[in-house]
Chains A and B, each alone.
Chain A
Amino acid sequence: MSELIHLSASELATKLHSGEVTSVQAVQAHLDRIAEVDGAINAFLHVNAEEALAVAAEVDAIRAAGGEAAQALHPLAGVPIAIKDLIVTKGQPTTAASKMLEGWMSPYDATVIEKIRAAKLPMLGKTNLDEFAMGSSTEHSAFGVTRNPWDLNRIPGGSGGGSAAAVAAFEAPLALGTDTGGSIRQPGAVTGTVGVKPTYGAVSRYGAIAMASSLDQIGPVSRTVLDSALLQELIGGHDPKDSTSLPNSLEGLVAAAVEGTAGDLTGVRVGIIKELQGEGYEPGVQARFEESLELLKSAGAEIVQVSCPNFKYALGAYYLIMPSEVSSNLAKFDGVRYGNRVLPQEGPMTIERVMGATRAAGFGDEVKRRIILGTYALSAGYYDAYYGSAQKVRTLIQRDFDAAFEAADVLISPTAPTVAFELGSKTDDPLAMYLNDVATIPANLAGVPGITVPGGLSEGLPVGIQFLAPAYEDKRLYKVGAALETLLEQRSGHSFISQAPSIDAATIGQKG
């Protein structure tokens, strides 16, 4: 049954619907794959085998019985999914990859999890991430690094390295991620998978452990553009529990992906962002990017140049706004109501000292850096210069996007400046790590949607191509993303992910 793991979610859904395979078979095939390779990949922090098989059996029984209940099943019913461990789930631990929450059991489900349960997608388990989603390599997890399935000595990106690696290694056809500055798209780029950051508010954030509330967004992770569209339609829509959720659902995402697979982009204006290419971008990344432009042009797209002069300030604004929100959001981890409590070694046991010891032991270095940086940016005397200025830059970046979308329907850039780098190569240099997100951060600051699709290989490692669209126009991403995916497949004669090295006992033995 190992061929089951190579099917896309939509292909698997078709076979489940026709009765050719059962959901129990599909879930078991993925559990077997996890057992086989996850010792080396470490994409999963928790495997939810029993519940996943029970949900699968329930779907199979409904389908076997036929009738109205079978007709009413969601198209993705029975298709297994992995969940980033920043999203709270009843019945499975949620840790945010932090010692602070080790063993924590959420008393409620996130809204996206309620939707997944209602649609009966078996949940395979919880995936690894940088602690509280703070990082670009998944090396800041308190529970060990995740390895890139394309090269086990390299990073899978971050913070959602676990979800991206699980999907790239065929441990799951679908996963959920969260994207605050690129945590869905950058891992997608370096693992050769598809990831989408929807328009801010298009998917409820209720139950995603907050990092930076004005930037955080839950979104889909998959191996094909169509699969991400199917998943975003399932998890999207207004949620009264999230006051920032959009009042209306975004429609037509799946239809747009299907339309895109025709490979016709006649009349679509694609804008190259001058500031997001060239210097700082590896030659191999730049080469695949330019080939993608040629393919889009051959499909009828009109390529235009746009300039977003304030994007050069985006990284600075992001690393002021995000830590400021972090310092506030993470104040709740006080060792009193939930999370682990650590007592001071000596001296009086006051709440203040217990809190200091708890947070010292519970948070890792990167989390502490961001809390301190945010505390600084918000402190008296610096507020206007730092936080206030960053909020103005946010306005300037929105204006840059507005002007760019006058000239273009979608914008395009490399998703990340480099291919996956080696584990450990940037952990001692926080600033170098931050630069990985230079191309993904502007979308979060402006709230606009973005997608990464594989654009080819450089030295045997995946390169990601990012498209950005105006707010509420996620469907444009699915159309152009699916078109590029199709054009690349037509040119090479095979799917992108089929080039991934097979992972077996031999390759696992070679890891460094």
Chain B
Amino acid sequence: MSAISREDLVHLARLAHIEMGDAELDKMTGELGVIVDAIASVSEVASSDIPATSHPIPLNNVFREDVVGQTLSIDEVLLNAPDSDSDRFKVPAILDGE
């Protein structure tokens, strides 16, 4: 198990869409290193013959009738939008450069 390097962290922050300054990157690199060391022990016991559990209570797929249920009105949907135009969310430019 390798610790998280500063370069790794820059990459992870980009993947997670969180802008980080130099001081924040330095601090978090150290903190994550300590945490990863502490939790890496899980691989000691995770041998190949043990099945993985993704959900605590076994449930089968849950289906419902394909009918329209309760929905929100457009006004309710847009109530908390930072920016909207008529019936739509207004999104900043997807691509750089005009």
- Our pick among A104, A240, A244, A315 for the contact of B80 (Cβ within 8 Å) is A104
Contact between B54 and A214, CB atoms less than 8 A apart: yes
Query: Chain A: interface secondary structure?
Result: helix
From 362 to 401 in chain A, residues with beta carbon under 8 angstroms from any chain B beta carbon are 363, 368-369, 371-373, 375-376, 379, 385-386, 388-396, 398
A214 touching B56, Cβ below 8 Å = yes
> Is A287 close to B, CB under 8 A?
no
Q: Is the CB of B32 within 8 A of A316?
A: no
B43 at the interface (CB under 8 A from A): yes
B81: A residues at CB distance < 8 A: 336-338
| A385 CB to nearest B CB, Å | 5
Minimum Cβ distance to chain B for residue A140 (Å) = 14
CA of A360 to CA of B21, assembled, Å: 10
Interface of B is mostly: loop
Within 8 Å CB of A375, what residues of B? Answer: 12, 15-16
Q: Given A376-B8, A447-B56, does the pair A348, B93 have CB atoms closer than 8 Å?
A: yes
Residues of A contacting B13 with CB < 8 Å?
Answer: 372
Distance in angstroms between the alpha carbons of A35 and B36 in the assembled complex? 44
A357 CB to closest chain B CB, in angstroms?
A: 6
Chain B residues with CB under 8 Å of A390's CB are 42, 46
B54 to chain A, nearest CB (A): 6
> Which chain A residues border B64 with CB–CB below 8 Å?
240
Contacting residues, chain A, for B44 (C-beta < 8 A) = 313
Residues of the B chain whose Cβ atoms lie less than 8 Å from the Cβ of A327: 16
Q: Which of B16, B39, B62 contacts A316 (CB 8 A)?
A: B39
CB-defined contacts of A431 to chain B, threshold 8 Å: 34-35, 38
Name B residues whose Cβ lies closer than 8 Å to a Cβ of A. 1, 4, 8-9, 12-13, 15-20, 28, 31-32, 34-36, 38-47, 50-57, 59, 62, 64, 72, 76-77, 79-83, 89, 91-97
* Interchain residue pairs A-B with the least CB separation, the first 9: A447-B56, A389-B46, A391-B52, A341-B82, A107-B76, A316-B39, A338-B80, A356-B19, A392-B46
